[in-house]
Structure 1
C-alpha cells in the first residue's frame, strides 16, 4: 500500500476516487477528546489538577526535594575556608534552582510536551511530526490527517522552518544524530533510575551504624538489599497509589524544612540573604579558582532529579507540575538552603552534617540521632521513586517507537492514562540495583560524579529543544540563540566539573547508560534493516491475484488476520505461508500495527482499510494505528473492533464508488453478512516468525550485532504474539529467515 500524494479538501472529485476508510473515519472524531484532553492537560478541572499536583509532590520531587541533606557537605569537602564562601555557594544554589528547574523546565520545556507527554522521546516524536526524520520508512500521508496529529506544514513565509525541515529530511547524518542523542538521553535517565536506588538506599542505611555501631558493613548491605526489594515490589501498584502514599510524607517534609530554614535565618544570621546578589558568585570563583570549579559537582546536586518533572509529565499535567514546583518545592528548599547557610555562618565546623545539626532541638550529644537514620531511609526510598517513574514513562515511548525490545506495559490508573508500569523493566532495574549494592558495598567511588547522568540529560534536552523551537514553534532566531547560549553554557560548566571526577567513579553511571544505549541502538538498527528487507521483497498486488488463482490454493472458511510490520505492500511471508499451507481464508486481512509519533489515536481513526485485488477475492489491507501511550486491545476485542470497521469500510466503499443506490445497498448487505458468517466460523491469527541473520560477507561488527545482540534480546524478551495477547490455540506461526 504505497503512500499517496496529499489531497486538498477542495478536491471532492479526487476524494470520491478513494476506496479506503480514511475519510469516513476522520469525519467521526469531532466529538472525540483530542490528545492531552481531560486530565492530561490544563483543560482539566482545577480540583483534578490540584489532586495531580498533590500526587506529583510524592513522585516527582523525591530527589530534588531531599537534596538539602547533602549539598553543603558535598560542596565543602575540605571545610569552609572563607566566611563569604557561604554567600557564593548559596547564591550558586539559588540561581541554579531558578535557572534550570524553574525557568528552563517549568516555564519553557514543559510546554514542548507531545500533547501531554514529556521526556526526550516526546521531543523526538514532536520533531518527527514536522520533519521525516525516522529511519523506518513507514510514513503515510494519511498520518498527518489524523485529527490529533496537530501539525501545520511550514508556509512559504516561514522559510526558516522550511529550510530546517529540508535539511533534516535530506541529511542521514542529522537523522542519526537526533536519534542518537535521544536514546542517549533516555539511557541516561534509565541509568540514573538504576543507580539512584542503590546509591541512595546504601547511603541511608549506612547511617544506621551511627545508632547501632555493632552492625557490620555486610549487614548494612543486606539491609539495603531488603529495602530495595520492598521499593521495587511496590512499583506494581502504580504511580497513582504510590503518589498518594508518598505525597503526605513529602508534604510534611517540605513544611518542616521550610520552617527549619526560617528559624535558622531568624536566630543565626539574616544577612545571608545578601546571597541574592550574584556578585558573590564572581567573588567566590575569584577567591577559590579551580577549587570553586570543582565544587560545582556538589552544587549541582541541588537539582538532581529536576529532569523528572519533564519525564513524569505524562503521569500528571503541566499545570499540576507548575503549581507544585512554584508553590511548594522552590520556596521550601530555598528557605532550607538559606537557613543552613545562616547556621554555618556561626558553626562552620559542622558542615559535614549541616542539615540535622541545624534542626532546632535539645542539644544533641551525637552528630545524628536515630531519627536521622529514619529520615535518611525515607529520603532514599522517596528519592528513588522519581527516577523510577521517569524511567517507566520514557521507556514506554521508546518501546512503541521501535527503539527497545518488546516488554509488557501496564497502565496502572483508569483515571490518568500516562501512569504506566513495566514489570520486566522493573525487574531488570531492580536486579541491577541489587547487583551494584552487593558488588560495591560502599558509595565512596560511585558518588564522586553522581550527577553525570542528570546533567547530560539537561544538555540533551537543551539541544532537542533548540530544534523544536526552530521547527515547531518557529521562534525568532535571536530568542533561540539566547535560550541555547544561556542554558547550554550553564550546563556545560556543570558537566565539565562533574567529568573532572570521571575516573574516580563517575564512569559507572556513564557505562551503565552506554550499555543501555548500545542495546537500544542495536535493536533499532536491526529493526530498520529488517523493515527495508521486507519492503524490498514485498509481493506486488498483481502477483497476489496469480497466487489466489493457483489450482492448489483453496479458500477455507473463516477470517484470517496476517500480522506484518509493513504498511506498504504484501509481506514476503505470505508467499511462504501459501507454499507450506496452500489455503487462504475466505476473508483475509493483512494487518499492520503502526505506532504514530503522538500519544494517542482516537478510536474512530484507529484503522485504515484498503481492498487488495478484485471484490470477489475479499482480501484487504488494514493499518491499525496507535499512539505511544495507547493500550492494545485484548485479542477478541481487537478482532471484533476490526471486523466492525471492515464492514463499515465496505459500506463506505460502495458509497464512494457510486452506482444504483438500491443495488449498492444489496451488495453491501450481502458483503457484510458474509464477513459476519465467516467470523462466526472462526478467526485465525497468522504471524511470520522471522529469524534474522547477517548476510554472508558482513563485517564482524554487523554479525555481532545481528546474530548475537539482537538474537539474544529477541529470544529472551517478550514474543510478538504475547505482546499482542494472541492465544496459542488461535495462532499459526510461519517461520522464515531473513539474511540482511
Structure 2
C-alpha cells in the first residue's frame, strides 16, 4: 500500500528478495490468465475460419479473393475489437481492480446516480446475454474438437456425438468438487496449445508466404463490397474469431490488467494470427480442405494428438465460461437482480472458486439440449455470436458513460473515442442478426427470459421495500415508546435483520406482540451491498448506540463478496458491541407473498415475482447464520 511520507520518515524499500519475486509473480499471473481468460478465444480457430469461408462460398467454389478477404477481416477484428477496444481502452475502466459487465454497470451507476434507469437496464441486458453465450460455448467448443476424430478415421464418426455428450456431462458433474487443484495446469496446457497453434500456421506460411498480404485491410473491404449479403453473413461468422474477448475484462480482478495485456500481446495474438494465416495459406493451395482446415493444417501423424489436445483446450475454455456464469450470478444476487441462491465455496484459498448448484444444473440441461438438437459445430455456429455482439455493444455504451462521467472527460472526446468501436460492434451485431432464424434466436430467447426475470425481481423487491416502509414503525418513535414501558427482558442478544434501519423490522414487532418479551440487547442489523467489488475491512462494520437496550449495526460488503454475518460481526467489538454467537439469536422475517388485485405490476409479473421469491434460498443460509441460532417469524403480504 502506498503511503505519504515526509522527508524525515524512514521509507521501507523492497528487499532484493522482493525484487526477485516480482517477475515470478507476474509470470505466474500471465500464465494463469492464458489458462482462464483466453480459453474461449483460443479455441475459435477450430471453427471460425471454416464457418466464415463456408458462408462466403455459400455452397459454391471457394476463391482466392474469399480466402484473402475473410482472413483479413479476422485479423483486423482481432486488432480492432480485442487489442484496441478491450486491451487498450475497456480494461482501464476497472471497478477497484474488477471488471465485467456488472462491474461496469456499478461503476456507471456510481458516476450517474441510481436514479438513471438506463444504466441498470443495459447492465441487466448484458448479463442476460452472457448466459446465452455461456450455454453455447461448451457445446460448440467440445463438438468442434471431437469432430476431428472423423479425420483420424471415418469409422469414429458415429461416436462423435455420444463422446461429446459424455465429456460435457463429466465436466458439469465435477464442478461441485472445485477446480482449484487442476486449475494450476490450465495455464501451462493452454500455453502449449497456443504454441502449437502458432507453430502449425508458421510451418504452412513458410511453404508459401503469399497469404501474408492478407494483413492489408483492403482485402477485407473489397470482399465485403463485392459479396453483398453473402459477405455480411460471412462477417457474422468472422465474429466467431473474437468470441471470448469479454473474458479479458471480466476476469481482470483475478489476474490484474498488466498480466492479461502482456499475455495477449506476447503470445495469444501472434499465435492466433499465425494460425489463421496458416489455415488461409492451406486453403489457397488446397481449397477442397475447407471441410476442416484447422486439423488438416497438421500432418497425418499429428491428427490424433491434436484432437486430444484440442478436446482438453475446449474443456478448459468451457470451464472458464462456467466459472464466469457462477461469478456473474453471485454478482447479480448481491446487486439485487436475482433471488438468493446457495453459493458454495470450493476452495479455502481461491476467492473466485465458487459453485452454484442451481445454475450448474440449468447450464447442463441447456448445453445438452443444444448438442442433441444441432448435432454438429456448424449448426451451432449460427446460434453463436449474436449474444456476444450484443454484450459488446452494451459494454461500449456503458464505457461511454464511465469515460464521460467517472473519468471526467469531455463528452465530445468520449464520443470520438467510443464511436468507432460502437460502429464496428453494431456492424457485427447486424451481420449476426441475419442468422436469427438459423439459430441466433436461441441466445436471444435465453437472454430475453433472464432479462425479464432480473427486471421483475428488481422491481418486485423495490415495491416490497416501499410496502414495508409504509407499514413498519419508525425506529426512533418505537424506541422512545418501548423504553418508557416495563417490558419483560430476557438475557442475551437478539439481532433483527432489516433492509431499512430507519424502521423497526416486522420480526421484532411480531416477537414483542406474541411473546411479550425483549432481549437485554437488541440489534437492528442492515447488510449493505456497495457498488464496489470488495469493501475494506476497516469499513466493514459500523455501530451506533440508539438507547440502553438498542444498537444499530451496518455491515458493508462488496458485490463480489460472500456476506457472511457471523464472520463479520466480531469487527464490531472495537466499537463497543461484544458479539458472542452462542449468546445471540438471529430473528428473520419470512414473508409469504400473495398476489394483489391492485398490484403495481402486471398480473403475470406479480405471479412471476412470487414464484421466484418462493424459490429463493433462506436468508439464514445466504448470510451464513447458524441454523441453531436463527428464528424465523412469518408474515403474509399481498403484492
Normalising by the residue count of structure 2, what TM-score does the alignment of the two structures yield?
A: 0.90
Tell whether the 8 Å contact from 2:49 to 2:71 is kept in structure 1 after alignment.
no
CA deviations 1:200-254 (Å, max 9, x no partner) are: 334444444555655685x644433321122123434556544322222211111
How far is 1:573 from its partner? 3.8
Residues in 1 aligned to 2:197 and 2:156: alpha-carbon distance in whole angstroms: 30
Greater C-alpha radius of gyration? 1
Tell me, in whole angstroms, the C-alpha distance in 2 between the residues paired with 1:346 and 1:443: 25
Find the aligned partners of 2:582 and 2:468 in 1 and give their Cα distance: 31
Structure 2 vs 1, CA of residues 260 and 370 (structure 1 numbering), >3 Å: closer, same or farther? closer
- Structure 2 residue 504 is the aligned partner of structure 1 residue 603: no
The correspondence of residues 586-735 of structure 1 with structure 2, limited to 5 A, is 586-612=520-546, 615-616=547-548, 618-633=549-564, 635=566, 637-642=567-572, 644-647=573-576, 682-698=583-599, 702-707=602-607, 709-735=608-634
CA contact (8 A) 1:314 1:393 kept: no
Q: Which residue of 2 aligns with 1:94?
A: 75
Displacement of 1:592 after TM fit? 0.8
| Offset of residue 128 of structure 1 | 2.2
The runs of 5 or more residues in structure 2 that have no matched partner are: 6-20
User: Could you tell me which residue of structure 2 aligns to residue 578 of structure 1?
Assistant: 512
Q: Report what 1:193 is aligned to.
A: 134
Take 2:589 and 2:620, find their aligned partners in 1: how far apart are those partners? 10
Q: Say which SS state the counterpart of residue 292 (structure 2) adopts.
A: helix
Are the equivalent residues in 2 in contact too, given 1:692–1:706 (CA < 8 A)?
no
Tell me the CA shift for residue 436 of structure 1: 3.4
8 Å Cα contact 2:35/2:186 also seen in 1: yes
Shift of 1:626: 0.7
| Partner Cα distance (1:333, 1:125) in 2 | 33
SS at match of 1:449: coil
Which residue of structure 2 aligns with residue 285 of structure 1?
Answer: 224
* Distance verdict in 2 for CA 1:410–1:316, change over 3 Å: farther
Higher relative contact order (CA 8 A, sep 6+): 1
Q: Deviations over 1:343-377 (max 9, x none)?
A: 22222222222122222x35x8xxx9544543442
Query: 1:638 Cα shift?
Result: 4.0
Q: Does 1:384 align with 2:318?
A: yes
Alpha-carbon distance between aligned partners in 2 of 1:717 and 1:625, rounded to the nearest angstrom: 22
Contact 1:535 1:569 (8 Å CA) reproduced: yes
Query: Following TM superposition, by how much is the alpha carbon of 1:330 offset from its aligned partner in structure 2, in angstroms?
Result: 0.3
Question: Normalized against structure 1, the TM-score is what?
Answer: 0.78
Which deviations, in whole Å up to 9, do the C-alpha atoms of 1:687-720 show, x marking residues without a partner? 1111233332337x6333233x233333334211
Aligned to 1:448: 382
**How far apart are the structure 1 equivalents of 2:83 and 2:177?**
30
Is 2:290 aligned against 1:356? Answer: no
Contact in 2 for aligned 1:557/1:681 (Cα 8 Å): no
Alignment of 1:79-228 (within 5 A): 81-133=62-114, 169=115, 175-209=116-150, 211=152, 213=154, 220-228=160-168
Aligned to 1:417, the other structure's residue is in SS state: coil
Equivalent position to 1:477, from 393, 396, 411: 411
* Offset at residue 588 of structure 1 (A): 0.4
Q: How many residues align?
A: 615
Please tell me whether the aligned partners of residues 109 and 465 of structure 1 are also in contact (alpha carbons under 8 angstroms): yes
Q: 2-side partners of 1:293 and 1:604: how far apart?
A: 54
Whether the 8 Å contact between 1:607 and 1:645 is mirrored in structure 2 is: no
SS class of match (2:113):
coil
2:479 corresponds to which of 544, 560, 575: 544
Distance in 2, Cα, partners of 1:389 & 1:725: 22
Report which stretch shifted further, 390-399 or 480-489: 390-399
Please name the residue that 1:152 is paired with: none
Give runs of aligned pairs for residues 14-29 of structure 1, distance below 5 A. Answer: none
Query: Tell me, what secondary structure is at the counterpart of 1:289?
Result: helix
2:10 alignment counterpart: none
Within the candidate set 50, 67, 73, 2:50 is matched to: 73
**5 Å matches for 1:368-517?**
369-412=303-346, 417-443=351-377, 445-517=379-451
Query: How far off is 1:290 after superposition?
Result: 2.2
Counterparts of 2:226 and 2:142 in 1: how far apart (Å)? 36
Q: CA RMSD in A?
A: 2.6
- What is the aligned counterpart of 1:246 among 162, 181, 186? 186
Following superposition, the deviation at residue 547 of structure 1 comes to 3.5
C-alpha deviation, 1:474, in angstroms? 1.5
Which residue in the other structure is 2:17 paired with?
A: none
1:262 to 2:198 alignment: no
